[in-house]
Structure 1
Amino acid sequence: MSTISASARIHPLAVIEDGAVVGENVVVGPFSHIGPRVVLKDDVEIASHVVVTGNTEIGKGCRIFSMAVIGGVSQSLHEAGETSSLTVGDNCVMREGVTMNTGTVGGGGKTVVGNDCLFLANSHVAHDCQLGSGIIMSNNVMLAGHVHVADRAILGGGCAVHQFSRIGRQAFIGGLSAVNYDVIPYGMLNGNPGILGGLNVVGMTRAGMDKQTIHRVRRAYKDIFEGEGNIRANAAAVRDAYIDCAEAMEVIDFITADSDRAISSPFRRKG
């Protein structure tokens, strides 16, 4: 049997399958379908013609608009019906036509989305993606499988992100860009193939970063990307010079970490 709170408002033309858990003050519109392994936490609002399926948990206060399909089976060629999940944090908005897939066993079995994220129309989160909080994905953004996106990154309309890529905290991806390689924290990337165009200084300022810190991060960026060595070697070489600047160290640690992808640069070359 489903567990449906007395305060929930379920339209008589909606389908809530046996086993679903529906929290307090949840609203489910007509012709929406909630699967048997779905958990809708308190104050979730689901419009008409929405499908929430799979082993999926939707956090408190989320809003899901019409024609979205949340928790669908992965589109991986290796999908074989194994147990996997999707977890969406609190206060996320999924606009019309958004799709999010559960994970795969080969990728850890979990797709995870943080809190306070905004997914505009027809954006897609593929299997095994790991998203932080405060992320904005504009219309038609496409994340391939196993992508990691850190907090407060902004992805412009129609951009596509290659599988296994990482996008650092507060990075900004321009519309229609192709993200082939990892994008550093605070980086700005545009074009196809994507070219790093400097730092997201506007975003850094809006986040409350002081001018001195921004100047240190910009200097580290110049040392890393304009140095004579390759990107990863340069980042390792300047570590001691920026050990007292957490934001610059965030960029350095991101570059020197293990990754399946190269680092995006201003020069269309691999790191």
Structure 2
Amino acid sequence: MDRIAGTATIHPSAVIEPGAQIGSGCRIGPFCVIGPSVVLEEGVELVSHVVIEGITRIGAESRLSAYASIGLPPQDLKYQGEPTGVEVGPRTYLREHVTVHRGSVGGSGMTRVGADCLLMACSHVGHDCRVGDRVILANNVMLGGHVQLGDQCFLGGGSAVHQMVRVGRQAMVGGLAGVTNDVPPFGNVFGLPARLVGLNVVGLRRRGFSRENLHALRAAYRLLFRDPGTFAERLTLAEERFAGDELVTEVLTFMRASDRRRELIRPGRMSMEPNGEDDDA
């Protein structure tokens, strides 16, 4: 595409460095600063005072609110200005004061935020993170470097995720939780330090998971985290008992991942519902 599309709307106070590419229909508000290796795909809106640096691509129809800072150097003392960047997927909404730091040479070199995400005010995505699609970070969420979030995770306000931690698909992290270990898919964690307290039942229902899906996941979680025996024994038994169940297999595969950098999160007082009672409906 042309370096700056003719249909883009750019406020006179914005600074766009030579080399930046601005797609059709982009709207760039006052006092924004865009670096020379930045690509804004079509329809991106920068409300005001947005700073974008590094080798950074912002997906189509994304919106960045005031004072968002994307692609700034990683908070890593080993970083020496190497060419690294950020990718933000289409239709993602970054609210006020959100920070997404570019990758490091010690990681993948690229920080990625998926499509259709909502990063609420003052949330932070550290270097080399991989954030899936349709993820919601509430206000003041903090992700350390190299964190991985699966699709459709929800992280409550003020929660913090330690570097290298993985959070599986459709998991929920409660507000103010301190997550230092891996969270399996569909799990619900809470506390400081965070503990697994059950399934993300509300989220699963909202996204159309069937009663049979919920029954299978509940049974698997009970076996893995409540029943007697060593965890290795329970994991093997779950693989045998739930062979062929796609969702349970996803959970078990996550737990057995060979490249895991953090231990699996420990269970707290387990429940399957927010009120502490199992619901077999």
Verify same fold: TM over 0.5: yes
Q: Is the 8 A contact 1:232 1:256 kept in 2?
A: no
Q: CA RMSD in A?
A: 1.2
2:93 and 2:24 map into 1 onto residues whose CA distance is 18
- Structure 1 partner of 2:265: 264
* Equivalences for residues 172-211 of structure 1 within 5 A: 172-211=172-211
1:171 and 1:22 map into 2 onto residues whose CA distance is 35
Q: Secondary structure of 2:164's match?
A: coil
Q: CA deviation at 1:79?
A: 1.0
* Equivalences for residues 164-243 of structure 1 within 5 A: 164-243=164-243
2:204 and 2:80 map into 1 onto residues whose CA distance is 43
CA-to-partner distance for each residue in 1:24-83, whole Å, 9 max, x for gaps?
000001111011000000000001111011110000000000111001010012111112
- Structure 2 partner of 1:23: 23
Q: Is the 8 A contact 2:89 2:115 kept in 1?
A: yes
- Structure 2 partner of 1:111: 111
2:256 and 2:233 map into 1 onto residues whose CA distance is 8
Q: Is the 8 A contact 2:101 2:127 kept in 1?
A: yes
Residue identity in the other structure for 1:265: R
**Structure 2 residue runs without a partner (length 5+):** 270-281
TM (normalized to structure 1)?
0.96
- Structure 1 partner of 2:4: 4
Q: CA deviation at 1:267?
A: 4.0
- Structure 1 partner of 2:73: 73
Q: CA deviation at 1:208?
A: 1.1
1:11 and 1:209 map into 2 onto residues whose CA distance is 46
Q: Secondary structure of 1:100's match?
A: strand
> How many pairs does the alignment contain?
267
1:208 and 1:198 map into 2 onto residues whose CA distance is 18
Q: Secondary structure of 2:220's match?
A: helix
Greater CA deviation, 90-99 or 209-218? Answer: 209-218
Residue identity in the other structure for 1:260: R
Q: CA deviation at 1:233?
A: 4.4
CA-to-partner distance for each residue in 1:219-271, whole Å, 9 max, x for gaps?
00011112334435422332021112111111111111121111112149xxx
- Structure 2 partner of 1:143: 143
**Structure 1 residue runs without a partner (length 5+):** none
1:203 and 1:252 map into 2 onto residues whose CA distance is 20
Q: Secondary structure of 1:3's match?
A: coil
- Structure 2 partner of 1:94: 94
Change (3 A) 1:17 1:232: farther
Report runs of 4+ in structure 1 exceeding 4 Å deviation: none
Q: Is the 8 A contact 2:148 2:166 kept in 1?
A: yes
Residue identity in the other structure for 1:95: R
Q: Secondary structure of 1:18's match?
A: coil
2:243 and 2:80 map into 1 onto residues whose CA distance is 46
- Structure 1 partner of 2:272: none
2:268 and 2:52 map into 1 onto residues whose CA distance is 43
Residue identity in the other structure for 2:12: P
1:209 and 1:3 map into 2 onto residues whose CA distance is 45
TM (normalized to structure 2)?
0.92
Change (3 A) 1:67 1:246: same
Q: Is the 8 A contact 2:54 2:83 kept in 1?
A: no
Q: Is the 8 A contact 2:133 2:150 kept in 1?
A: yes
Percentage of matched positions with identical amino acids: 45
